[in-house]
């Protein structure tokens, strides 16, 4: 088995990665993490009227000249306007209205006075402080004007955008649908969590690991199941998955052993092999194929190896499929707090925790089949090929998870 670089592998998988074109309408409460498919234009000014940002009194600046605690200005209170009320009656000189936060300011008023600067009068009010023109005054349309494109297509949506859309009176928006991913794990030795663990069997870690990570990245899982180590059964599973999935991910059976069936299974369905083997540890036996335009990423059966290639290759693929730059790989630099004793003849990724410019290595084994020591880690150290043992204080770089 040969091998290409990680960068070459990424270039190839992205060449075979489709961008989701289909759109769907969804409620704005469900938009977090989705990508807007069409521009959203405002149809009215917001706020739709001049409104008060305080509890107090709406009045005229000219009536408040010289107002102080010692020499208060006394105004007639016409009425109270609460949030949700509206009055078109114009306030005249010497008059005021009691007004609450968010309520519409009536015509004739050019300021609002805090209730703390008054005697809280109901029929007549004493005001102890002058106000500047348009003080405590929220103008119609100060948030947005009618006819603006407030949110452009291609924007990733979140809670702020949900609030903006609600303010626009928009109940639903058009977004690109989520990619549909199928996860197929191999192995006659694996059983599902919750089932009895017979001698010689292990629980299917990879299926749950990958499903959870892919869902976290924002996809829709159309299938997640284990397939026996039989080439024909895997071939049928691949054909079935391809009818619905935009991307198929498999784990296990990609090396050169007697039960490494993925090569034969993919050949049985006529899939095109794009590459097999990456110059990286873990993840060297990664196999990537194209079946009738559906990319098939076949990962090692070792959990940490599957996790590493998920981050290095699957995550950028999903970033392209979903138009989500937020999924692009983010690199950080720092210094090592701990030693890593193994030399790295080939490029290696090592689990670590990054905090304030320092990388901490977890206790426990760092082998491909061990996952427990990954708990609490938030990055993968990128150790260049040809590196010797790493020492505390060494400079390092990592990819954030």
Distance CA 301, CA 209 (A): 12
pLDDT interval class at 1 (50, 70, 90): low
The CATH number that applies at residue 202 is 3.40.980.10
The tokens for 111 are: 């300021």
The predicted-structure confidence for 331-343, as pLDDT tens digits, reads as follows 999 999 999 999 9
Q: Tell me, what's the pLDDT at 255?
A: 84
> Is there a domain that residue 145 lies in?
no
State yes or no: pLDDT of 2 exceeds 80. no
> Is there a domain that residue 51 lies in?
no
DSSP sequence for 329-381: --EEEEEESS-B-S-BSS-EEEEEEEETTEEEPPSS---TT--GGGTT--EEE
Domain enclosing residue 158, as ranges: 24-46+151-176
Same domain, 311 and 341: no
> Is there a domain that residue 143 lies in?
no
Average pLDDT over residues 153-160: 97
Same domain, 187 and 309: yes
Same domain, 254 and 337: no
Angle among Cα 323, 153, 322 to the nearest 5 degrees reads 15
The predicted-structure confidence for 31-87, as pLDDT tens digits, reads as follows 999 999 999 999 999 999 999 999 999 999 999 999 999 999 999 999 999 999 999
> Is there a domain that residue 134 lies in?
no
Same domain, 238 and 184: yes
Same domain, 296 and 157: no
State yes or no: pLDDT of 400 exceeds 60. yes
> Is there a domain that residue 198 lies in?
yes
- Whether the model clears a pTM of 0.75, i.e. scores above it, the answer is yes
> Is there a domain that residue 91 lies in?
yes
Same domain, 366 and 299: no
> Is there a domain that residue 63 lies in?
yes
Distance CA 96, CA 78 (A): 6
Cβ neighbours, 10 Å, residue 1 = 11
């Amino acid at each position: 088995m040969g091998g290409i670089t990680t960068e070459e592998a990424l270039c190839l998988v992205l060449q075979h990665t489709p961008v989701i074109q289909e759109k769907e309408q969804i409620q704005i409460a469900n938009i977090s993490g989705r990508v807007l498919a069409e521009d959203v234009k405002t149809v009215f000014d917001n706020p739709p009227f001049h409104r008060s940002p305080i509890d107090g009194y709406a009045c005229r600046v000219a009536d408040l000249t010289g107002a102080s605690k010692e020499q208060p200005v006394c105004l007639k209170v016409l009425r109270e306007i609460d949030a949700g009320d509206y009055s078109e009656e114009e306030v005249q000189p010497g008059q005021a209205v009691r007004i609450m936060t968010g309520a519409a300011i009536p015509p004739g008023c050019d300021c609002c006075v805090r209730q703390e600067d008054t005697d809280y009068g109901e029929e007549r009010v004493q005001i102890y402080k002058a106000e500047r023109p348009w003080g405590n005054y929220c103008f119609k349309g100060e948030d947005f004007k009618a006819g603006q494109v407030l949110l452009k297509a291609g924007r990733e949506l979140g809670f702020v955008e949900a609030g903006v859309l609600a303010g626009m009176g928009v109940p639903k928006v058009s977004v690109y649908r989520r990619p549909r991913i199928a996860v197929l794990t191999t192995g006659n030795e694996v059983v599902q969590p919750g089932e009895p663990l017979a001698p010689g069997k292990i629980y299917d870690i990879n299926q749950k690991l990958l499903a959870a990570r892919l869902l976290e990245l924002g996809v829709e899982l159309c299938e997640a199941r284990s397939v026996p180590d039989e080439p024909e059964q895997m071939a049928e599973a691949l054909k079935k998955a391809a009818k619905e999935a935009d991307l198929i991910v498999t784990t296990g059976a990609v090396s050169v052993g007697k039960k490494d069936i993925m090569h034969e299974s993919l050949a049985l369905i006529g899939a095109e092999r794009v590459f097999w083997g990456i110059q990286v540890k873990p993840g060297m036996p990664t196999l990537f194929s194209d079946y009738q335009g559906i990319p098939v990423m076949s990962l090692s059966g070792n959990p940490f190896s599957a996790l590493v290639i998920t981050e290095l290759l699957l995550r950028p693929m999903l970033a392209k499929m979903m138009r989500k730059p937020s999924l692009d790989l983010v690199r950080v630099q720092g210094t090592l707090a701990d030693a890593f004793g193994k030399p790295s003849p080939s490029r290696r990724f090592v689990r670590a925790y990054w905090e304030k410019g320092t990388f901490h290595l977890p206790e426990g084994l760092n082998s491909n089949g061990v996952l427990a020591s990954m708990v609490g880690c938030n990055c993968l150290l990128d150790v260049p090929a040809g590196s010797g043992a790493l020492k505390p204080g060494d400079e390092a770089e990592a990819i954030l998870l």
